[in-house]
Chain A
Amino acid sequence: MSGPPSTYDALVVGGGHNGLCLAAYLARAGWSVGLLERRHEEGGGLNTEEPSIPGFYHNLHAQFMEFLDYMPFYQDFDLERMGSRSVYPEAQCGITFADGRAPLIIHRPDLLDRTHKSIARYSKADADTFCELKRKTMEIDQFLAASLYNPPPVAEQGKLPNPLANPMIEPMFAHLGLDPTYTLKSPKVIIDELFETPELRMLLYRECVEWGTPVEMEMGGTAFVMSVLWLSAIWKLMIGGTHTLAHAMTQACLREGVTFLESAEVTKIVLSDSRAVGAETADGRTFQARHVVASSVDVRQTLLDLVGAENLSELWRKRTERFRYGPSHVLATTTWCLTEAPHYRSAEVDPEIDRCFYTVVGFEDPDQMMDYIRAAYGDHVPERPGAGMWVNSLFDPSQAPAGMHVATGWFFFPTADRLDERGWEEVRRTYNDRFLELWTQSAPNINSSTVLANRLYTPDQMDSKNRMRFGDFSNGAFAVDQLNSSRPFPEAAQYRTEIEGLYLCGASSHPGGGIHAGPGYNAYKAIAADHGLAELWEANGRIY
């Protein structure tokens, strides 16, 4: 039986957004590219399904898009023409309370006056501080983006990477007017020092972890700027769900001539003379790579499962084995089919909370929020099931049947291995109901009469669905020793591996998880440099 070609210039393992991004650039540079995807759908975490009732669409992984305006893949391949569309909600992220207290709502950066007004209900000083920091951060957003869309700094020969040696840090803190000692502190300490309002602190803790950054991670000053100041409240909603972005990316790849090999689970990266030359799939097919095999799956699967520990040096084997997953970004997705959108008690004070893109529900004070985060990070399913919720149908009617609504949210949970199968089953059976109790307290109209169906996807299922190991959305813990020039580990931080021809292009590499396609883009830069491919970057007026 004839089929697609078996030999390509490059094989890309994994059809998530990073694999798609790298494949598109390689193909545009003139290479033949075979993209191998284990699942029946492309997109990885760009996954939208109808898990309960047909017509109610839920994003099961990625929820919001903060990088559409920065993502080179998005611009260079005109993904909007390929069918991607987004909405930029005005009220971006908020927190609501069961006692009907004023909500806190952070609006889009172009609507800072509204943000100011919301925070000023609690503290004018906090409102001034936050809005000024946000404004100044957005002035340098291109430079912040450049730090994602470039390989991390190369450590001096023979020396360990120094996370504080990044030349960008000092001018950045100077521009923002932030104390340089913040570089050493954790986001939580910085938040507590900068802001006095407990309600704002809670919201910002949550914003910080939302992006995978542990709020108590020391030497977290840069991470604070990135996750709390820059990447919050610039979220876009994908019309039709995040999978439509995967669709657009796939159409872009097809137009460049990428060959899609789907339902193709790679079980082995084939080596010849210590060089990566191909891939074998579970169903017995083999594919050859003339120049490059690039893997967008996480580093442990890539090097230990697909290449094999026996083919690694002692150092690389140890480093890979010691690469850690979670608990910083281990999530469960809770999905709800509703007959009406939530109407919060806090809307009595500020009705905008009912039209807020992302709303934190179920936390009444900072201790509850910190208990929650610490429980999840500390191997426990949090006792109090608060969540951050998106009601996408408020902005995009296509995600629910006419007149109905969908709500999707995230719970932070321990890594998948902390509970056995029965344990997670129990969580799936009971946790949504427990959350509903809290949700009803904040939004009395959300109750058994307005909930048509609900379903919970737990970290073990994230693992089995997308092979995001341990349910870690970032494919590797966010920690000082696993970031930037040390991600996944210092020797592998430039997307190259010790196996000639084998590259890393997934979220285990800098800049990590999130729908920015940074690892795929940066891996292209590395491959282009090694193989003399066209410099397809810094196009369209970008500095990266």
Chain B
Amino acid sequence: MYTGRSLHLFVEKKLFFFLWLFPSVLFGQQINELVTLYQHKYKENEAVIIHSESKFEFDLAENKVVVREDRNQKLLSLRYNTFINEVEFYDSNSDIKEFSCESSLNQKSFNSDKVCGNYTNSEYFFDDNKFCTHKLKLQEAGEVWKTHVDKIYNDSKYLTSVYFHDKYPIVTKKIILKIPSDIDVDIREFNFEKFAVEKHVTEQGKFRIVEYSISNISAMENVRLGRSVQFIYPHLLILVKSFQSEGERVNILSNLHDLYGWYRSLTSQLSVQPEVFAPLVNSILKGKVTDDEKISSIFYWVQDNIRYIAFENGLAGFKPDDAHSVFQKKYGDCKGMANLTKEMLRYAGYDARLSWIGTKQIRYDYSIPSLAVDNHMICTVILEGKKYFLDATEKYLPLGYNAERIQGRQILIEDGDNYILEKIPEVSGENELELRQVKLSMKSDMLVGSYKYILQGEKKRNFLCGYHFSSGDTKDRLVKHCLIDENKNMKVNNVRLPDMNHRVGAFEINTDLECKGAISSFNNELYIDIDISKDFKSWIVDEERQSDIDFGEKIHKVLEVELELKDGDSVIFLPEKLQIDHKEFSVHAVYVKDLNRILYKKRISIENGIISKDSFIQWNEAIRKLTQHYDSQIILKR
């Protein structure tokens, strides 16, 4: 006997079976049922991929491993009279040989109909990404579009990862890798534990066939504060390590040594012309005595004077620009800025080195020999056994502080033919504080007083960046936004800013504060709200969300409020203490009566800046309690 849910699944499976095997002879009624089923299941999607099969065939050509991808896909329309774009990307290391589409309603878009062009990733000014697209009309729900892509990766180094998810939900998907025995390919699997991925390995003559299949997966999300897809979705990392050529083993990227060797082969091509920047280095070092002063003056000069503009064109995606070129252009990407920092420091007499690093967006480490393990370059100075990690792309970062995105990450430091592998130290939460200290008194229906806003670490750096890169009025708006958000009931007057160019130490803004309507008076009772920063109020997360929440920074928000009572005021009610402790976050809030004052202290911490999907239920529960706490008021009798 079928329950409602299992009947539903049964219908889905049965219908799908028909559609998969006999799409052309499927009865209209069955199609309609399937469409209805998926329309309810995937309300936001225009189509669902009912089957996708990608075959990757590895081969040797001109002493290189090339990979041919042949992908066939069936897309079931869930909408009518709607256009969608089927897009395929390629770059200077890959080509699209064929890309065509054909529908069950006899619509066709041939390979020659595809439209191609440049498409630069939003992080860069220019890169070598290109795309081809077919604009497909979903004439009616139930129409099935078949697409075929034939794509070549001309150098297997650049085929790094293969994902199962797509922009549409997928009913079934197969990824098949056909690897000849003379090519050593290591396939690493990620995030398989949360998804039912089946794997079969067979031998066919001299080929190893590795087949993965997955079913019923939703579309890849594009959500706010989403964590890097590497942490969320199942995928394969393809490591082409070596191949046999005339009886010899030829390494490609078999280990970290190979990877470093390739990087080194690129950096050794760099030309060094210190005479271009020598006068400037001499000038900025004038009067600087200590090593810290000297290193920081060069580091800060690069931060302040070199704009981050990235060209990721072919090998330029891996090879730094020459230091003198970056110096003359006054712009560069992370590699160019790292190289200029290095060469200026070397000219100044320091042991400065290029260093590769994968930011926190990358889930892999250097135990994996792949181009996918890093995405960033900085400069490391080694001085008397101490290492300074200098990332000049991080504007307003003080010397000795490492940006959140690289803390705790492995770093590959150049060391001649060898390398040094280290870890960037983590900073404790206490150094990442966002502290609000407020002293308030009552005036009519308002709270008035003084307000001190203190930022440390990454928060301070972000604020300074935002401030300096805002124009005119926007600067004032930014300051107000940080102090009182968009709360129109609050007003800040007489805002005193600190030295906005000072990188080191805490950052403190002082201001006068007015909170209109914070006191509601009913008969002789005053109902008072003294929490001026209701962080995370109603911040409920959709529990269906696939991605962890990644705030991109550690969060430690502290509010300390002191409310001065008038003579004769008696406290009738103080909201209850709130204390929530979880491995990923904590919320503490407490009101205390102290002589003629009420003291309120609230602390919200998200230790690593991540709320994982596994914690969404507890997070939402905590947010509900926090929101209730925010909605609790002090009562005074006057």
Is B a genuine binding partner of A?
no
* Residues of B that sit less than 8 Å from A by CB: none
